[in-house]
Structure 1
Amino acid sequence: MIDVTGAAQQLRELAADIAREAGDLARRRRAVGVSLAATKSTVADIVTEADREVERLIRDRLNAERPGDGFLGEESGAGESSTGVTWVVDPIDGTVNYAYGMPAYSVSIAAVTGGDDPAHWQALAGAVYAPVFDELFTAARGEGAWLGAIRLAVNEETPAGALLATGFGYDPATHDGDLATVREVMTMARDLRRGGSAAIDLSYVAAGRLDGYFERGLQPWDFAAGALLVQEAGGVVSRFETASARPMLVAGGAGVHDRVSAIVNNK
């Protein structure tokens, strides 16, 4: 049985250290140019050689520091845990931004218990590092969410309407449904942002830079660290099953979360 209280702080420190090292590698590789290694579900959903190299670095560091832990990575799949802890990793979240030279990409690393299914896990610690901005967001269960030494808190009041963020899947067949959801949600929004990195968007919700975030079809590594950041900053995160088989994730302060959830659940 894992001592959650004792483990979370240590796991956060390790996640933060590795995320910063991995982010620095990603930034250096981008500076000398990137090459496309493959495509995923569609041509737009690209993989770069840097994705794979950065994930290898993260996996090697974790194997050296905590050899019995499990691993769930975007590029290299899953590895079983003998300790009860699984690391959920997105080596470069925002790969398209990265490939085009846009700065909004990040490294996302989370430690969870309960296996690799988000429906059953409990997040213990997480780190999201945006290397171009040199911003490191971290959280440990019960210890709050932080940007460096600054403790984070979600926005609770949105008198001018909520500033929201979202994203769209790479499959063109899903775009009509996503745009219909945006039209409905805009009835309560001040404005909408589409940054291209779910981990950064969730970090910004935790930091009060956004009031809320919603997106359908995220993978576990997209939100594992960011969701914990929001929760530890006082926010609420929910993941709803939908008729499209693409679960909807909603995050924000309680009021925004509930209003967005009511809208997307009625669609």
Structure 2
Amino acid sequence: MDDEDPVALEKIAVGIAQETAALALAVRDRVVGDRSVADMDTKSSATDVVTAGDRECEAHVRERLATLRPADAVLGEEEGGAPDPAPGQVRWVVDPIDGTVNYTHGLPWFSVSLGVEVDGRTLAGAVVEPVSGRVWSAAAGHGARLDDRPLRASALDRLELAVIGTGLAYDRARRERQAALLGRIAGSVGDVRRQGCASLDLCSVAAGWIDGFYEHGLKHWDWSAGALIAEEAGAVVRRPGSGPGDGCGPEATVAAGPQLAAALTDLLRGAGAAQL
């Protein structure tokens, strides 16, 4: 088997993500269900909750990869890892539980997200929803799927009718700036959604459930798999650092159907997105 075959990597990513999704639910039943303070600590702020679920789920992913793909590098939200893999080395980008606040509060909109990259190019990705069991996945050049059904991004070309997703930072000062930006653009779009899980927001763009999405400050593991899934579904995707001249700011992630992407970028630029 070709070690860089996107279809084979997608299959492995889906299998590990499904196992990890089951573990995430089991840990929540055991630990988070009673909101046990002893099993929670914090990262960047008091609202950025790290649970036993995050740690156990990432450990499981790393154990499985050590068995199945021992030569690969791993970058994970909880344990860090390979920010600069060797040239040509396969790297797995792991968000063990994306949407941690939803997870700890009993909301069903969270996921396990695994992206697979080589030399900065994403080859495969899987995003699994533990509660519903839905599986979103893609292999570069082979399209994107939801439970094996092909996905296609929205063909809408009218910004004033578009449903746009976004996210807000844990840092309060940045969140206030993001809310102000949202206020400036809200009157120019059809409606807005804030669901609290970037990987699933990007998957929602892939499915056409929302017409576009933007957020500032996402980490690599937040968008690695979801960005590929949206792109393989035909969306135009701007990753952080990929468009410094577009006026959206270096930390912006933007994804939208192909008929809407330019208009959404223009709207964000005109509303001062570069200042976030």
Do structure 1's residue 262 and structure 2's residue 261 form an aligned pair? no
Unaligned stretches of 5+ in structure 2?
Answer: none
Provide the C-alpha distance between the structure 2 equivalents of 1:127 and 1:244, rounded to a whole number of angstroms. 27
Q: CA deviation at 1:175?
A: 2.0
Q: For residue 117 of structure 1, what is the aligned residue in structure 2?
A: none
Moved more, 28-37 or 39-48: 28-37
Alignment of 1:95-114 (within 5 A): 95-114=100-119
- For residues 188 and 156 of structure 1, do their structure 2 counterparts lie closer, same or farther at Cα, with a shift above 3 Å needed? farther
Deviation digits for residues 199-225 of structure 1 (CA, Å, limit 9, x no counterpart): 111111101111111001000000000
Using the TM superposition, give the Cα deviation of residue 49 of structure 1 relative to its aligned residue in structure 2, in angstroms.
0.8
Task: Supply the AA of the counterpart residue of 1:27.
Answer: L
Separation (CA, whole Å) in 2 of partners of 1:211 and 1:50: 32
Decide which of 43, 47, 63 is 2:46's aligned counterpart: 43
77-86 or 48-57: bigger deviation? 77-86
Moved more, 29-38 or 97-106: 29-38
Match of 1:118 in 2: none
Asked if the contact 2:27/2:52 (under 8 Å) is kept, the reply is: no
Change (3 A) 1:232 1:238: same
Q: Distance in 2 between matches of 1:184 and 1:29?
A: 41
Q: How far apart are residue 41 of structure 1 and its match?
A: 0.8
Structure 1 unaligned residues grouped into runs of 5+: 115-120
Corresponding residue to 2:92 among 62, 87, 99: 87
Pairwise mapping of residues 1-267 of structure 1 onto structure 2 (< 5 A)?
Answer: 7-34=5-32, 35=36, 36-79=39-82, 81=85, 84-114=89-119, 121-159=120-158, 161-239=161-239, 240-241=243-244, 247-266=251-270, 267=272
Q: Distance in 2 between matches of 1:113 and 1:244?
A: 26
Q: Is the 8 A contact 1:241 1:248 kept in 2?
A: no
Distance 1:16 1:156 in 2: 28
- Shift of residue 245, structure 1, vs aligned partner: 7.5
Distance in 2, matches of 1:95 and 1:130, equals: 12
240-249 vs 200-209, greater mean Cα deviation: 240-249
Residues 33 and 122 of structure 1: CA distance in aligned 2, closer, same or farther (over 3 Å): same
The whole-number CA distance in structure 2 between the counterparts of 1:10 and 1:234 is 21
Identity over aligned residues, as a percent?
40
Q: Counterpart of 2:17 in 1: which secondary structure?
A: helix
Q: Quote how far apart the aligned CAs of 1:244 are.
A: 10
Contact 1:185 1:260 in 2 (8 A): no
Q: Following TM superposition, by how much is the alpha carbon of 1:38 offset from its aligned partner in structure 2, in angstroms?
A: 1.9
TM-score (norm 1): 0.91
* Residue 131 (structure 1) shift: 1.0
Q: Residue 263 of structure 1: CA displacement?
A: 2.0
Q: Could you give the per-residue CA deviations for residues 143-170 of structure 1, whole angstroms, max 9, x where no partner exists?
A: 0000112100000115561111111000
8 Å contact 2:103–2:109 — kept in the other structure?
A: yes
* Alpha-carbon shift at residue 63 of structure 1 (Å): 1.0
1:26-54 per-residue CA deviation (whole Å, 9 max, x = no partner) reads 01111233244321111111100110000
Q: How far does residue 134 in structure 1 lie from its aligned partner after superposition?
A: 1.0
More strand by share: 1
How does the TM-score come out when normalised to structure 2?
Answer: 0.88
Number of aligned pairs? 259
Cα-to-partner distance string for 1:31-88 (whole Å, 9 max, x where unaligned): 2332443211111111001100000000110111011111110000013656611000
CA deviation after TM superposition for structure 1 residue 251, in Å? 0.3
The amino acid that maps onto 2:127 is V
Question: SS where residue 155 of structure 2 aligns?
Answer: coil
Deviation, structure 1 residue 265: 2.2
